Chain A
Amino acid sequence: MSAVEDVVTEAPAVEAVPKRAMTLGTGTSLVVLAALLIAPVFVKNFIIFQMTMLLIYGLAVLALNILTGGSGQFSLGQSAFYAVGAYTTAVLMEHFNVNYALTLPIAGVVCFAFGFLFGQPALRLSGVYLALATFALATAMPQLLKLNFLEHWTGGVQGLVVTKPDAPFGLPMSQDMWLYYFTLVVTIAIYIFAVNLLRSRSGRAFMAIRDNEIAASAMGVDVALYKTLAFGVSAAITGIAGSLGAIAVQFVAPDSYTITLAISLFLGMVVGGVGWLPGSIVGAAFIIFVPNIAEGISKGLSGAVFGVLLFLVIYLVPHGARQVAILGQQLAGKLRKN
């Protein structure tokens, strides 16, 4: 190994997060859950739609969090997996009349395979090099979707329009509200899966690799397998998020899944706190709402305002929402003592 590579691999790219610090306490979780359950009853359909998008992006950020916060690997290519999931659902629904709920696991499996395979060459890369390799994936994806021989299925640049499902069993709720609860159930299931995954043997293996790859392999962790596995799981969850996104937006097109999406997801993860799973939702809220706020402040300079806001967040709370949560906890502790 050359000296340069040594330097790169030795620098811990991701700070070690103990696994207990990765989740919320039971009480807090229940409060958040109750809020998510009740809120839609009181708001307009448009807000429900935004909340659905919040959950969907939250899932995609969560997937990246497992990869980066869990196993210490970077990815700027999440938009590619998101696109594969979205297109799997759109094509199955529109060309094969498959039920929307059934397309989710299919999209998950397809993306798992895709991510797992991509994880193979990624094994040889680490840190910034891996980030660049995944970056290539993200830039290639929109063009791949436009390829001639795929156009019959993907609709080329024109994209595909997806039909929004009605609430089943004649439930008296709007399409938006049904889709929100559907997404919420999927999100909770995946969140619980993710928490358990990180607490399991595999999760410990991920974190061992993140903290020190050589030590992990010395302890008998199959580094190659677990690294690719992390990629596979992350891709699968991103793919499911993509599927839900396609159903919620009712449209897929190559322009929807550009590198900007991948960078947004990465941003969401950093703002939410790397390695802190509940932060994923906070990160998703940041990438959905802050651009709107920035646009509200100045239309011509929305990009610059967004940059300033982002800079403030990174400067004031470099560990993102996790830091805020910890500060809040300490404050609450102090108050109790007094």
Chain B
Amino acid sequence: MPAMHVRLGAFSAALVLAATLSTTASAQKKYDTGASDTEIKIGNIMPYSGPASAYGVIGKTEEAFFRKINAEGGINGRKINFITYDDGYSPPKTVEQARKLVESDEVLLIFNSLGTPPNSAIQKYMNQKKVPQLFVATGATKWNDPQNFPWTMGWQPNYQSETIIYAKYILKNKPDAKIAVLYQNDDYGKDYLKGFKDGLGAKAASMIVIEDSYEVSEPTIDSHIVRLKASGADVFMNITTPKFAAQAIKKNAELGWKPLHFLNNVSGSIGSVIKPAGFENAQDIISSQYFKDPTDAQWKSDPAMIAWNEFLDKYYPEANRADASVMYAYIVSQGLVHVLKACGDNLTRENVMKQAASIKDYEPGGLLPGIKVNTSPTDFAPLSQLQLIRFKGEHWERFGEILSGDVGG
């Protein structure tokens, strides 16, 4: 978007100015490409078109959030220049856009680029160039690997830590469980499955009585549910995406199969999963969450939720407030602002990673009470806590303590 660019000439002028200033007046100010006394350039890559375009709303929310930050005076007096490009979820295009951001727009860092394949495509490049690939928008476990990829950092609780938490719960509360697992046959499903088995440890082989997978292209998973029920399992680990999750919940009820049902939080949405499957069929399903569901009535007068609504009213009124991506983007943008503030006047790429790797108990607005962002030089998984939730009536009820399941890639 042309409006979001500052003309190159003006930028280089600012850079020259910044260079002279930093050598004469204030020696303690340090900048890398993309940062100056007046602005910080942040790059971002989103699938605004193509198969994953529903996630494009994340980029739009972030753009709106940084407009708010700029309107309120910026970060330590510097405005954020947020440059976001479309890659259509196609890895070669992601590479082109990442190179454009780094080499042509000269951004300080790339923030929250979306999707596992697109981020895999640029990970090596970003680390070679030593440009931060900060808070990537994917739940894969491999982003927490500071040893091999010190310039790449994840954000949300990864898939493996989620199923580890379910496994711990099962071991504690139902140690003699006979478990049926259904998973989607791709990287997402397998990541979840691995976490689950790791969580059960040595008992995985004896406790899991049946393990079944389906392809995304299958129209229905009814036959899989029939097979799982026939195994006589009394615990159901349901690793499915929204459409299939709704089918599974419905089919369980039809067959009268009532296992202890764990549902991955990818499909935790009330609007797109539970409601279509029927509230009465979803009672007592266990899942997990780390941020507040905006459609949940219990948060109506919560200060963070009020702030969120005010932000949307003013900067992004057309947003669909039932879309979890809007809340997701709101939280992760606060994370970036937190890191940049902590950098102070030392806006080098090295310091950005250093500050990102030393977040202590940070609580951006929108997270569930008790969930905190924590990182260290050996822990590049900012969020790794989850709250167990159980479906009661027409909404999720939180229960138990905040659980943690840190894993590296």
Contact = CB atoms under 8 A, between A and B. Distances in A.
Interface in A285-311: 295-296, 298-300, 302-303
B120 to A, nearest CB: 6
Contacts of A80: none
Contact of B1 (A249, A251, A260, A296): A296
Interface of B: 1-2, 48-50, 84-86, 88-92, 95-96, 99-100, 102-104, 116-117, 120-125, 185-187, 217
Given A300-B48, A302-B48, A251 B91 contact: yes
A150 to B, nearest CB: 13
A267 B220 CA distance: 35
A102 B341 CA distance: 50
Interface string A244-255: 010001110101
A12 B318 CA distance: 50
A66 interface: no
Given A256-B91, A302-B48, A158 B96 contact: no
Nearest to B99: A46
B95 A250 contact: yes
B85 to A, nearest CB: 7
25 contacts: A47-B104, A50-B96, A148-B185, A156-B186, A157-B186, A158-B117, A158-B120, A161-B120, A161-B123, A161-B124, A249-B121, A250-B124, A250-B125, A251-B124, A253-B117, A255-B89, A255-B117, A256-B121, A260-B50, A295-B85, A295-B86, A298-B1, A299-B1, A299-B48, A303-B49
A251 B217 CA distance: 25
A53 interface: yes
A44 B88 CA distance: 25
A159 B100 contact: no
Contact of B49 (A143, A245, A256, A302): A302
A46 B85 contact: no
Main secondary structure of the interface of A (DSSP, over half): helix
Most buried by B among A161, A253, A261, A296: A253
A296 B125 CA distance: 25
A241 B90 CA distance: 17
Contacts of B92: 53, 245, 249, 251, 256
Contact of A299 (B86, B121, B123): B86
Contacts of A302: 48-49, 86
A249 B87 CA distance: 14
**Number of chain A interface residues as a range:** 20 to 34
Interface string A49-75: 110010000000000000000000000
B91 A253 contact: yes
A195 to B, nearest CB: 28
Contact of B103 (A46, A245, A255, A296): A46
B187 A158 contact: yes
Nearest to B128: A164
A47 B103 CA distance: 9
A335 B125 CA distance: 51
Nearest to A264: B90
Contact of B90 (A258, A299, A300): A258
B99 A49 contact: yes
Interface in A5-30: none
Contacts of B104: 44, 46-47
Contacts of A143: 217
A170 B99 CA distance: 25
A204 interface: no
Nearest to B89: A255
A50 B88 CA distance: 17
A53 B96 contact: yes
A253 B120 contact: yes
A295 B59 CA distance: 14
A255 B116 CA distance: 11
Contacts of B49: 302-303
Nearest to A160: B120
Given A255-B89, A302-B86, A159 B96 contact: no
Nearest to A146: B186
Nearest to A148: B185
A159 B86 contact: no
